[in-house]
Amino acid sequence: MSCGLELQGRRIVLGLSGGIACYKSAELVRLLTKAGASVQVVMTEAAQQFITPVTMQALSGHPVYTDQWDAREPNNMAHINLTRGADAIVIAPASADCIARLAHGRADDLLSLTCLARPWGAAEGRCPLLVAPAMNREMWAHPATQRNVAQVIADGAIVLGPDRGDQACGEVGDGRMLEPADLFEEIVAAFQPKALAGKRVLVTAGPTFEAIDPVRGITNLSSGKMGFAIARAAREAGAEVTLVAGPVALPTPRGVTRVDVRSARQMLEAVLPRAPQHDVFVATAAVADWRPATLSEHKIKKEGKKLAPTFELVENPDILATVAALPDRPYCVGFAAESENLLAHARAKLERKKVPLVVGNLGPATFGRDDNALLIVDAQGHRPLPADGSTADKLTLARELVREIAARIAPHSA
């Protein structure tokens, strides 16, 4: 899920060290530039054995730097000029040798020299370093590499990955570079304010499915997109996030722990023991209010029947109200998906379930869509999100809502 030009105006230095994963870096450049970033590529001599500077120049739209003695710079100091004004340095792929150079502060090629020369101390003008390891599984597991990784993290770098899977050498294990889409998501997350750092957030998303027989059931049109966006935004804000998802076919946001459920009772069973261990509970899921009282063992057949079958309904547990009534409850945020009288219904839900915040939206107008318009309702009043009453993509709204929640729980955290 993307919200368009997420990196508009950002200047990123992308470093490539030697490794077959360089082929993924071409797609990463495309994703970064498509999101509005200006990408300046720096390649080591080894990287040029796997992909050409011509390719990276064509994709980035900028000349590629490969030599610390590059005379194109008026002062012949590419390692200085590249990082001044840059928003981040991303090394993808970062080989074992590259990580060792970073750990030991070596500066004998342009990429390591550039990393050493970047502004890293004061917050103002600081240029973060993001490192995406890529190497054979044995190289990754070697104690020397693990020591070097621990050192670069201690020095302030952010290590992205690695992934586990098939490797170019034919072996299988840890050491694969993250896929370009995953790296892109991590880079975007690195730029988000960490308003929920140290917090734990529990989110429910999607519909529930209440079985009538082995093949039929009661459900609704919720796509889960808003809840998944909130989970991603909370993780971007520094929180440890658990996502309890109904039956939806959406990819799990990076870094989020996912628990799949089907029915309302299963969702309650997943949420209730976890809720006291979290600081925030966001009940985005569209939970079915009713379920059949009994489940038919076999598919209900229509052959020879003149009348449609009937069945009794019983009320499902109220997950939000149950969590809100816990003695050690988290900060609870409810969602109200309505078809009419949004404010009245949202305020009634706020009071009935005794929660501090309810977020309303017109469900039929937004189910399945990538955009939405929200109404924030609390005891003091209400206001639209976005503020101008228009619509926005769900990830943008999720980030705004996460900032809203963070501001509300801050006094309780002090």
Tens digit of pLDDT for each residue in 68-126? Answer: 888 787 887 888 889 988 999 999 999 999 999 999 999 999 999 999 999 887 666 78
Give 54's contacts (C-beta < 8 A, 6+ positions apart).
none
Tokens of 411: 């006094």
Sites in the chain below the pLDDT cut of 70: 1-4, 122-124, 304-306, 363-365, 411-414
318 known ligand binder: yes
Do domains 11-190 and 200-291+307-413 share one topology? The answer is yes
Say whether 320 counts as a known binding-site residue.
yes
Return the active site residues.
169
DSSP assignment string, 186-209: HHHHHTS--TTTT-EEEEEESB--
Q: CA of 129: how far to CAs of 15, 87, 171, in Å?
A: 10, 9, 29
Q: Is residue 50 part of an annotated ligand binding site?
A: no
| pLDDT attached to residue 203 | 98
**CA separation for the pair 251, 277 (Å, rounded):** 25
Mean pLDDT in the chain?
A: 92
For the chain, which residues make up each domain, given as ranges? 11-190, 200-291+307-413
Regarding the domain with residue range 11-190, which homologous superfamily does it belong to in the CATH classification? Flavin prenyltransferase-like (3.40.50.1950)
353 is in an annotated binding site: yes
Residue 335 annotated in ligand binding: yes
| Dihedrals phi, psi of 235, to nearest 5 degrees | -65, -40
Report the DSSP pairing between strands 163-166 and 158-159.
Answer: unpaired
| Coil vs helix vs strand at 10 | coil
Indicate the residue type of 126. R
Give the residue from 84, 30, 21 showing the smallest Cα distance to 49.
21
DSSP H/E element including 154 = helix 143-154
Residue type, 59: L
Upper half-sphere CA count for residue 225 (Cβ side, 13 Å): 19
Structure tokens at 180: 């370009």
Q: State residue 3's pLDDT score.
A: 60
CATH superfamily, domain at 200-291+307-413: CoaB-like (3.40.50.10300)
> Are 91 and 17 within 8 A, CB to CB?
yes
* Residue 349 labeled ligand binder: yes
For tokens 């050192």, the residue is: 151
CA atoms within a 13 Å half-sphere pointing along the CA-CB vector of 167: 19
The pLDDT score that the predictor gives to residue 410 is 81
Q: Are 392 and 372 in contact (CB under 8 A)?
A: yes
pLDDT of residue 414: 43
Structure tokens belonging to residue 250: 């959406």
Per-residue model confidence as pLDDT tens digits over 254-313: 999 999 999 999 999 999 999 999 999 999 999 999 998 888 888 888 776 667 778 889
* Phi, psi values for residue 18, rounded to 5°: -70, 130
Q: In 3-state terms, what secondary structure has residue 351?
A: helix
Alpha-carbon span 322 to 204, nearest angstrom: 14
Backbone phi, then psi, for 119, in 5-degree steps? -65, 120
